[in-house]
Chains A and B, each alone.
Chain A
Amino acid sequence: MVSSYRSIVSPKTLAKFGAAFALAAAILYGFIPESGHGEQNRILLTGSSTIAPLAAELARAYEKAHPGTRIDVETGGSSRGISDIRRGLADIGMVSRALKPTESDLVSHLVARDGVALIVHKTNPVDGLTSDQTSALYTRKIANWSAFGGPDQKVVLVHKAQGRSTLEIFLKYFGLSDDDIRPDVVIGDNEQGIKTVAANPSAIGYVSIGTAETAIEHGNAIKLLHLDGIAASTAHVADGRFPMTRALNFVTKDTSSPKAADFIAYAQSDSADALIRSLAFVPPKR
């Protein structure tokens, strides 16, 4: 039996154990990532998952033009972008909203804009809602589509999970509090919101306009609702007519490194416009 052999702890076994432990520790130590912050030509971006695909595309183009530079993009939400910058863990934070007054220690650099719009199932005859109607829907003062000339169906409210920046923009725009809303479905990202509404003829939700436009092109059974009479489209976000929009920002400390500043300058230049449009976002007026 193995157990009787093991019960004798000879110095040799102890030495073996020690060697094994040292080896294990060495392997573990090897896995601990070095802080890349100090490296010369590496730029680390962390934060909003909305901005990440855009940042990755910008990074690829920038790396091509600047051989030897490496840019890494990691997601984790706008909050992570803020906290990583504060703790010095990243060079640039990605934040998909305007900075709050409590975040005045940071500097934001506008890279693109995005609109947030209401979506319903493609078969829903309702084409648009006013702000008051939307508030009434989400607070359940109106609970049936027939009130807006739609079918006699109970409205299914699709709502975002706490902390999502689309949620914050939605609440702020309609002057609602998260406590007033008793949703039927709580979702995470835009993609899940689109799939959930497409599966549900009586649902209403809100997602990024750019993502919704792309999804509609790919045949998802949703449609964008007009808001207060204005069509929800990236074109109307660009000309400033569509009101519910958000800023997609790069955020740094006021003492940002030159390499980060150079990448931000590139992201804010005209040459980034085509990339921004290709990801269904809107380049800001420069």
Chain B
Amino acid sequence: MSRQSADRLLSIGLMAAGLLSGVLLLFIVLFISMESWPVLHHTSLSTLLTSTDWRPSMGGFGLLAILVGSLSVSFLALLLAAPLGLATAFYLSVYAPPKIAAFGQKLIEVMAGIPSVVFGLWGLVTLVPIMVHLSPPGTSLLTAGIVLAIMIAPTLTVFSLLAIKSVPMATVQSGRALGLGRGTILRTIILPQARPGIVTGILLALARALGETMAVMMVAGNVVHIPTSLLDPVRTLTANIALEMGYALEAHRAALFMSGLLVMLITLVIVMAAGFKSDGTDKAP
């Protein structure tokens, strides 16, 4: 085989792989949309999005309370995880001695890879009994937020570390040569350049929080209502699917696919926002 034809084969193969992933995503969105369509014969889209009445057996398909549940759990998790994750990244990249930094980074990478159900079980058997003392039943928006925060903080740290490492060494060293302190270097040299990458990390961590299912289902309480306190139970869109999909038929099943479609659309918006942000980094001078 000539070198040229080998090259062409490789190029065709790679293009096929690329197309495959794109087409798969398209198929998934199409499939979910088709499966969720029948619910619109039973309720209008506006009722679906503005009603809190989720009683599928009685024809109540309001997703608002569950949508609010998903968003509140995810943003609470982000609020808790962002300071922790960012502080860890700053420490490991700027302050930590090299050996600790290398070890810490490996640790964080391992943590980012722990399956979510493990966090869920830990939350249910360890964290919930502690939260019970605060206010029974211990499964609540706050508990779910804490478990999720612990899950997404490593993701956030990994992305922030990547962004910080992409800052050219030369600029950092120039700073040092000028006698700047580490805090000043972090604030005035590293952060401004790494910001788009860090924001991307934050958005992707948020997307992960929104999509998380098992861990949240185990500790959130899953009662359908709009939470009025941190200690109220909440149900998320993903937990809704996991709890009821096995038992749902017809319109109920379609309504659950609609839950999935909502998660997917929100996640897509977030990931697109993240992509937009990281484009900014590439083009930065």
User: Is the Cβ of B249 less than 8 Å from the Cβ of A16?
Assistant: no
* Nearest CB of A to B248, in Å: 6
In angstroms, Cα B2 to Cα A226, docked, is 81
* Nearest CB of B to A219, in Å: 12
User: Is the Cβ of B128 less than 8 Å from the Cβ of A200?
Assistant: yes
User: Is the Cβ of A184 less than 8 Å from the Cβ of B136?
Assistant: yes
User: Is the Cβ of A195 less than 8 Å from the Cβ of B248?
Assistant: no
User: Is the Cβ of A21 less than 8 Å from the Cβ of B132?
Assistant: no
| Dominant secondary structure at the B interface | helix
* Nearest CB of B to A126, in Å: 16
Tell me if B125 is interfacial: C-beta within 8 Å of chain A.
Answer: yes
Contact of B139 (CB < 8 Å), options: A49, A179, A185 = A185
- Which residues of chain B are within 8 angstroms of A16 by Cβ–Cβ distance? 8, 11-12, 15
* Nearest CB of B to A186, in Å: 4
In angstroms, Cα B247 to Cα A165, docked, is 9
Contact of B221 (CB < 8 Å), options: A76, A184, A201 = A184
- Which residues of chain A are within 8 angstroms of B24 by Cβ–Cβ distance? 28
Tell me if B192 is interfacial: C-beta within 8 Å of chain A.
Answer: no
User: Is the Cβ of A163 less than 8 Å from the Cβ of B233?
Assistant: no
- Which residues of chain B are within 8 angstroms of A203 by Cβ–Cβ distance? 136-137
User: Is the Cβ of A161 less than 8 Å from the Cβ of B16?
Assistant: no
Q: Which A-chain residue is minimally distant from B131 (CB atoms)?
A: A199
In angstroms, Cα B253 to Cα A82, docked, is 14
Q: How large is the interface on A (under 10, 10 to 19, 20 to 34, 35 or more residues)?
A: 35 or more
- Which residues of chain A are within 8 angstroms of B233 by Cβ–Cβ distance? 184-186
Tell me if A124 is interfacial: C-beta within 8 Å of chain B.
Answer: no
Q: Take A24-B19, A199-B138 as given contacts and tell me if A188 and B13 are in contact as well, using a CB distance cutoff of 8 Å.
A: no
In angstroms, Cα B8 to Cα A201, docked, is 68
* Nearest CB of A to B57, in Å: 6
Q: How large is the interface on B (under 10, 10 to 19, 20 to 34, 35 or more residues)?
A: 35 or more
* Nearest CB of B to A3, in Å: 13
User: Is the Cβ of B136 less than 8 Å from the Cβ of A202?
Assistant: yes
Q: Which A-chain residue is minimally distant from B127 (CB atoms)?
A: A199
User: Is the Cβ of A201 less than 8 Å from the Cβ of B139?
Assistant: no
Tell me if A77 is interfacial: C-beta within 8 Å of chain B.
Answer: yes
Tell me if B222 is interfacial: C-beta within 8 Å of chain A.
Answer: yes
User: Is the Cβ of B138 less than 8 Å from the Cβ of A80?
Assistant: no
Q: Take A77-B247, A179-B58 as given contacts and tell me if A21 and B138 are in contact as well, using a CB distance cutoff of 8 Å.
A: no
User: Is the Cβ of A186 less than 8 Å from the Cβ of B221?
Assistant: yes
User: Is the Cβ of B218 less than 8 Å from the Cβ of A192?
Assistant: yes
User: Is the Cβ of A178 less than 8 Å from the Cβ of B55?
Assistant: yes
Contact of B137 (CB < 8 Å), options: A19, A20, A156, A182 = A156
Tell me if A17 is interfacial: C-beta within 8 Å of chain B.
Answer: yes
Contact of A162 (CB < 8 Å), options: B56, B221, B242 = B56
Tell me if A133 is interfacial: C-beta within 8 Å of chain B.
Answer: no
Tell me if B94 is interfacial: C-beta within 8 Å of chain A.
Answer: no
Contact with A along B210-239 (1 / 0, CB 8 A): 000000011001111000000001010000
Can you report 15 A-B residue pairs in the complex whose CB atoms are below 8 A from each other? A21-B19, A24-B16, A76-B246, A77-B248, A79-B249, A161-B243, A161-B244, A164-B247, A185-B139, A188-B243, A195-B125, A199-B125, A199-B129, A200-B132, A203-B136
A interface residues with partner B (beta carbon < 8 Å):
16-17, 19-21, 23-24, 27-28, 49, 75-80, 82-83, 153-154, 156, 158, 161-165, 178-179, 182-188, 192, 195-196, 198-203
Closest 4 CB pairs of A and B: A163-B247, A77-B246, A20-B15, A186-B222
